Amino acid sequence: MLKAVFLRNYLLSLLVFNLMACSSMQTVDVASAMRYPPANVSVGSLVKVTTLNEWEFKFRVTEMDAAGLVGKYGFIPFEDMAALKVETGRSGDGSTAMVIWGILGVAALIALIDNADTVAICSGTPCIRP
């Protein structure tokens, strides 16, 4: 019973670590954003803006133009930004599915090792089980 609880907790921790790694905040160069709209920021992106007077805002972009970003806090011009970070997630390249299959494979391997004492290989002779 204790092994089943350990295995469940181990798999749950692997899942939590996987979900934490799915996205992160990536820094955007504000100086270049004032000249060219940043390519990795678009409507719907989650951004974290730190202004020159050190206020921090975290919001989803609802509108965007060459001068700045619009969200639930209103319009924030690029020239008033000290730092801009945008959340980037994994692309749909199948890496999440590979991680899930990897976790399931490790779980199957652990279950096989855990139950190894009940496995008997009998080739042509009667099996003697303990």
Q: Can you tell me the distance from the alpha carbon of 68 to that of 62, in angstroms, rounded to the nearest whole number?
A: 11
* DSSP tag of 88: E
How many folded domains does the chain comprise?
Answer: 1
Is 92 inside a domain boundary? yes
Does residue 1 lie within any of the structural domains?
A: no
Is residue 127 domain-resident?
A: no
Q: What is the CATH number of the domain that holds 34?
A: 2.30.30
Range of the domain at 83: 12-115
Neighbouring CB atoms inside 10 A of 90's CB total: 13
Q: What is the rounded CA–CA span in Å between residue 87 and residue 42?
A: 11
Asked if residue 123 is part of any domain, the answer here is: no
In a domain, 122, yes or no: no
- 129 within domain boundaries: no
Q: Which residue has the higher pLDDT, 96 or 60?
A: 60
User: Is the residue at 2 inside a domain?
Assistant: no
Q: How confident is the model at residue 9 (pLDDT cuts 50, 70, 90)?
A: confident
Interval 11-45: pLDDT, tens: 677 666 665 555 567 788 777 777 777 878 888 88
